[in-house]
Amino acid sequence: MRKLIFSAAVAIAFATPAAAETVAITGGKVVIGDGSDPIDGGTVVIRNGNVVAAGASVKVPAGARTVDANGKWVTPGIFAGFSRVGLVEVGAVSSTNDSSARGSKFSAGLDIAPSIDPFRSSVAVNRAAGVTRAVVAPSSSGEIFAGQGAIADLGADNNPVTKARAFQFVEFGATGARRSGGSRSANHLQFRAYLREAADHAAGRAAFDDELMRKEDAKALQPVLSGATRLLVHVEGANDILRLIELKRSYPKIKMVLVGASEGWRVASDIRKAGLPVIASALNDLPEDFDRLSATQSNIGRMKDAGVNVAIGMINDRDAHQLRYTVQYAGNLVSLNRVPRATGLTWNEAFAAITSKPAEIMGMGARLGSLKPGRAGDVVIWDGDPLELSSAPTRVFIDGVEQSLDNRQARLRERYRNPVEGDLPKAYDR
């Protein structure tokens, strides 16, 4: 009982962010996250919220708090390449689900940032599983454009947004066709028409047609046109990818990123030639629809072998609650290397695909996603190989601040450790 009360007090203490301190994590197996080999017995130093050094012969600065990581793994936090984290408490309870806005008059103009709630249970649960940053995207509802997504951290503080309006999200393929009236032709024309409107609006031309589009939506597409923000395009089928690559030729400045891309392996050289990075679903291997007839778990490995810049993301796959699957997915891609005819990733590649790669693809590689000097102090200490099913974080730092690993699920577990009531009902047991 005493122990439980103590742990609850600790949880409350952690709920207010501690000041960033100088921390040296010593003796662990250090993974930089850039695809290089793990370093045994390495040291990671965090100061003022940032990584200042990580490697084999790093000195512990005077006055640093030392954390012993002997026998443990020390890695950058997991960067969820695509998610809806912080937008949803209970999926089927619409008042707690801000991932899409079916009743809104707006589309591209929607900004996800105010919907990201750092106190959603899913933030704490996934933080305890080592996820420290995430691409957070709106879901589309009535239009092909879903709105402006953000990069967020999963820290227990009041400021979840790392970068607001970091990208625009748009649907192509089967969903895009449905959103634009029923065909891919309509999808392409709608895309072109909206971007023309946005350009007209920017130029102050009288031709602006607000029957087609609202000003707020048009304005939000201007930084997409200029390349100031990225355009994340959800597309799965090989033909849809090829047609998108053709479409992009009309918009040389747009910085496009493919999301999903289950059939990407069939057109991997085209994707590479077009210079399009991909945030791909890792384990899609079923013909869930006719866009994904040739889906295979070897997709990411084959695209990577063809020279495509690829990261792992979870699109429409428990992307609000289960970002903790990210490490399992990466581990599965490693397992493919032992399956005849399959193509996976090496361990180092797989870990990069859930840390530095998504950060780089989102244009944040200089600030996030690895333990190179200057990156945010998002560091996780694991009790074993982070991709292995038996492993879990023992400590998590975000922006250099050590985080509570407590959450609702842990509290329920402790309450029901012995399910039978004692001297008082369970409601008194906390």
What is the binding site for other proteins (CB under 8 A)? 88-93, 121-122, 125, 238, 263, 266, 283, 285-290, 293-298, 318, 320-322, 324, 328, 331-332, 334-336, 338-342, 387-392, 409-410, 412-413, 416-417, 419-420
**Nearest approach, Cβ of residue 114 and other proteins (Å):** 21
> Based on CB atoms, which residue is closest to other proteins, 107 or 403?
403
**Nearest approach, Cβ of residue 301 and other proteins (Å):** 10
**Nearest approach, Cβ of residue 93 and other proteins (Å):** 6
> Based on CB atoms, which residue is closest to other proteins, 127 or 230?
127
> Based on CB atoms, which residue is closest to other proteins, 9 or 389?
389
**Nearest approach, Cβ of residue 322 and other proteins (Å):** 7
> Based on CB atoms, which residue is closest to other proteins, 205 or 413?
413
CB neighbourhood size of 301 (10 A): 23
> Based on CB atoms, which residue is closest to other proteins, 48 or 409?
409
**Nearest approach, Cβ of residue 159 and other proteins (Å):** 23
> Based on CB atoms, which residue is closest to other proteins, 36 or 121?
121
**Nearest approach, Cβ of residue 182 and other proteins (Å):** 15
**Nearest approach, Cβ of residue 420 and other proteins (Å):** 6
> Based on CB atoms, which residue is closest to other proteins, 238 or 398?
238
